[in-house]
Amino acid sequence: MGEARSRFPPWQSTVSVVLKAILDEEVTEWVRRSLDAHGQIGVLAGSAISVWEPSCLPTATGLRDSIVKALFYKNRLLADLQAELEGQLLSSKDTRSLRLETVLEEIDLHVPNELPRFISVLDSGEPNSIHYTLADWLRSGRISVLYTTNQDRLIERALELRAAQYGRDFTVVTPETPETEKSDSPASIVKLHGTIDRTETIRTTFTQVGQGLPTKMTEALENDLRQYPFLVIGYSGQDVDIRPSFLRSTPRDVLWIDRKGSFSSSHFAIKLKEAHKNVIPHVADLSQFNLDLEKLRDGSGIGKNRAAAEASEAAVGIPAGKLALICSRVINRSAELPSKRKLQKQCLTRAAQTAEVKDSPNLGWRVPYYRAEEHLFRATFLVRDVAAFYFYCQSTRMASNAKHLFGRITGLFGAGLAVDMFGLGLLPTAYRASVRFCYLPALLAIQRAGSPPSQKTALERAILKELVLFHIARAYFRTGRRQKAVFWMGRLAEKGKSSFIRGHCHRFLGLYYASTGKFPDAENSINNAREQFLYLEREIAKADTLRNRAAVKLLERQLWGAWMSAGRAFVMYRRGNVRRGEIRAWVLLRFIAACERVPSLLSSGIAKRLVIGL
């Protein structure tokens, strides 16, 4: 990856591949022109190439629905709630916040060893004509390197059925592949999110994908984008670990193919084209990839049924209480419907009464922690904050008694959040108390912890440490020690392992730059925050970013831009039933209206601090 490759591999003399017409005349001509000019092209393939028969893999939405249904379909604890759960989790039109990664994140958190069984459908199916075409291009040397987010083995199987041998003719590289294991094979398949036949390499959750690609892999991708024309096919462009490589580099030439109706104004390919990144969005029907063959039939429905059967089989081996606990968390991340709060509470209450949850060192402390989260999320003023603080302390105590270090640190961190909110997110005294009594003890516990037993534990601990450091930096920001806050937030924004943390650090950096008059830097930081939250699909984080953008625009005296951003934030808070955010956005809107009537208001230092605080 990243280095010039031989146009003709040593074994090419045994391969005879004629470049056939694909998709349409424009795509075929682009491929031929690129090969004539550069000898080779790069390819980035997404999951849409594997839904066609005979591959028959489910779409991400189909796999998500199959797994979600398995959590409650045969669960004795939730038998009487099935119709309501289906309405909340499967029938809602607003499913943006409930992505596949969200569901897999909760499964991995509560029953980590079972996650591979829920996605075992990815190890099924046979290659279709798209896989065979890509395999032929690899073997003939027309593709310099093939990047894919797919975790299935269909491209490898197509190569093997074409008599290519792993290690000699092609190699597979994952983010976990050590440098010493990388082969000199002439063809490389770089599986950016791991491969299903090596479950330890799989990246399927927000935490795993959010940590970003290894530096060497990122550099290789960016070098290849600069060196070769790239064909992007069947890929949505939503992954937070891949998007930065396109944004940082200037690709030589990219033809981005997606289905009809996909290229909305928010599509990543459209954004890249507007940023003059040499990207050409192109609409095509993937079922007609090879024009010399019969049109492919959509097999995603077959894949969904297969996924449902395998997910149900995986769920049968998990105690009902654990499944109910996972279900409560999935509901927590789903759309705000009238039945959401009741269903979430019932699932959590029923799970808490089972021995498998109550007596588990890993799960017992989570019940009061989740109750505290809900109180803090729904809080308007002090009463719910006090309830959240009580449950966070109970969670910390239970984790300490169970000698569960991660739980104790998480509980202390949560208690710090509640203390911050005692001051309504504005009073410096509350922030000082949270740092002294919650965040610093949590940080000390992390530093005193021994070596993590696994790579996964190391990642969880590193992210938790960064989360604590972010809230300490936020306290510095709110208590006037802004240089210290900017130092830590700058480091976390650049090197943080979580896109959630990076996004919030960019938010606060934007406010800092606006307060010092550096408006271009402020706008850039707000855009970076939005980019991080775009992948997470966290509507509240997006609303926070819009509220901060409104503050930046207001300080810049662009009142119309401030109105638009604050109004959109208000609508998103109301839709998400976040009362505290709704109040903040409403106050900001009223202040913008006051500034329209009395422009000199913004000259006051107190008014500026109020805007930054909101």
Residues 328, 351: contact at Cβ < 8 Å?
yes
CA distance 29 to 25: 6
Distance of CA 466 to the CA centre of its chain: 17
Measure the CA–CA gap between 548 and 553, rounded to whole angstroms. Answer: 9
Residue 452, classed as helix, strand or coil, is coil
How large a percentage of the chain has pLDDT more than 90?
56
Tokens for 484, please give them: 């210290």
Cross-strand bridge partners of residue 231 = 43, 255
Average pLDDT, the chain: 87
Which residues does 534 contact at the CB level (< 8 Å), separation at least 6? 238, 240, 542
Residues 59-117: pLDDT tens digits?
A: 988 999 999 999 999 899 999 999 999 999 987 555 555 888 889 999 999 998 899 99
CB-neighbour burial class of residue 542 (10 A; exposed 0-12, middle 13-18, buried 19+): buried
pLDDT at 4 over 50: no
Which run of H or of E encompasses 191?
Answer: strand 187-191
Cα angle 29-35-38, degrees, rounded to a multiple of 5? 130
**How long a stretch of residues is the chain?**
614
State both tokens at 290. Answer: 């090879």
Residue 227 phi/psi, 5-degree rounding, is -90, -35
Specify the pLDDT at position 176.
Answer: 87
Rounded CA separation 207/383 (Å): 32
So what's the pLDDT on residue 172?
92
| Selected residue with higher pLDDT from 534 and 312 | 312
User: What secondary structure does DSSP assign to 249-278, as a single string?
Assistant: S--SEEEEEE-TT---TT-HHHHHHHTT-S
Q: What is the spatial distance between Cα 510 and Cα 532, in angstroms, rounded to a whole number?
A: 14
Contact 588, 580 (CB under 8 A): no
My answer on whether omega of the bond before 10 falls inside 30° of 0, hence cis, is no
User: What is the DSSP pairing of strand 229-233 with strand 41-45?
Assistant: parallel
Residue-wise pLDDT for 218-243, tens only, equals 999 999 999 999 999 999 888 888 99
pLDDT one-digit tens code per residue, 450-484: 787 778 888 888 899 999 999 999 999 888 888 99
Q: Which two tokens stand for residue 34?
A: 């690129």
520 Cβ contact list (under 8 Å, min separation 6): none
Q: Check whether 384 has a pLDDT greater than 60.
A: yes
Q: In what order do the strands lie in the sheet with 41-45?
A: 170-173, 187-191, 143-148, 41-45, 229-233, 253-258, 279-283
> Does residue 424 surpass a pLDDT of 70?
no
pLDDT of 267 higher than 90: no
Please tell me the predicted confidence (pLDDT) of residue 12: 40
Helix (H), strand (E) at residue 190: strand 187-191
- Between the alpha carbon of residue 359 and those of residues 114, 273, 322, 536, 575, the distances in Å are 19, 55, 11, 32, 37
DSSP conformational letter for 113? G
- What is the predicted pLDDT for the residue at 97? 59
Question: Per mean pLDDT, which range of 254-258, 376-380, 428-432, 480-484 is the poorest?
Answer: 376-380
Q: What is the reported pLDDT for 167?
A: 84
C-beta atoms surrounding 511 within 10 Å: 23
3-state secondary structure 33-81: HHHHHHCCEEEEECHHHHCECCCCCCCHHHHHHHHHHHHHCCCHHHHHH
Lowest mean pLDDT among 139-143, 179-183, 192-196, 278-282: 179-183
Mean pLDDT of 330-356: 92
Q: pLDDT by residue (tens digit) across 45-64? A: 999 999 999 999 999 889 99
pLDDT tens per residue, range 487-536:
999 999 988 888 889 999 999 999 999 988 899 999 999 999 988 887 66
Task: Give the separation between CA 249 and CA 221, rounded to whole angstroms.
Answer: 9
Q: What pLDDT, on a 0 to 100 scale, did the predictor assign at position 186?
A: 72
Averaged over 144-165, what is the pLDDT? 93
Let me know: does 192 contact 149? Beta carbons within 8 Å.
yes
> Which tops the pLDDT comparison, 479 or 299?
299
| Distances 469 to 359, 441, 473 between C-alpha atoms, Å | 31, 12, 6
Q: What is the pLDDT of residue 539?
A: 79
Please tell me the distance from the alpha carbon of residue 224 to that of residue 519, in angstroms, as a whole number.
Answer: 34
Task: Give me the half-sphere count of Cα atoms (radius 13 Å) on the Cβ side of residue 137.
Answer: 25
Residue with tokens 């060497």: 216
pLDDT band at 159 (very low <50, low <70, confident <90, very high): very high
In this predicted model, which residue has the larger pLDDT, 185 or 348? 348
**What's the angle, vertex CA 96, arms to CA 90 and CA 98, rounded to 5?**
55
DSSP letter assigned to residue 424? T
DSSP codes joined into one string, 337-355: -TTHHHHHHHHHHHHHTSH
Instruction: Determine how many CB atoms are found less than 10 A away from the CB of residue 160.
Output: 16
SS3 (DSSP) at 233: strand
| Whether 253 contacts 247, CB under 8 Å | no
- Percent of the chain past pLDDT 70, that is, above it, reads 93
Partners of residue 253 on adjacent β-strands: 229
**What element of type H or E holds 230?**
strand 229-233
Residue 306 has pLDDT above 60, yes or no: yes
Confidence of residue 316 (pLDDT cuts 50, 70, 90): very high
Q: Which amino acid is at 58?
A: P
The span from the CA of 177 to the CA of 191, in Å, is 10
**How far is the C-alpha of 336 from the C-alpha of 262, rounded, in Å?**
26
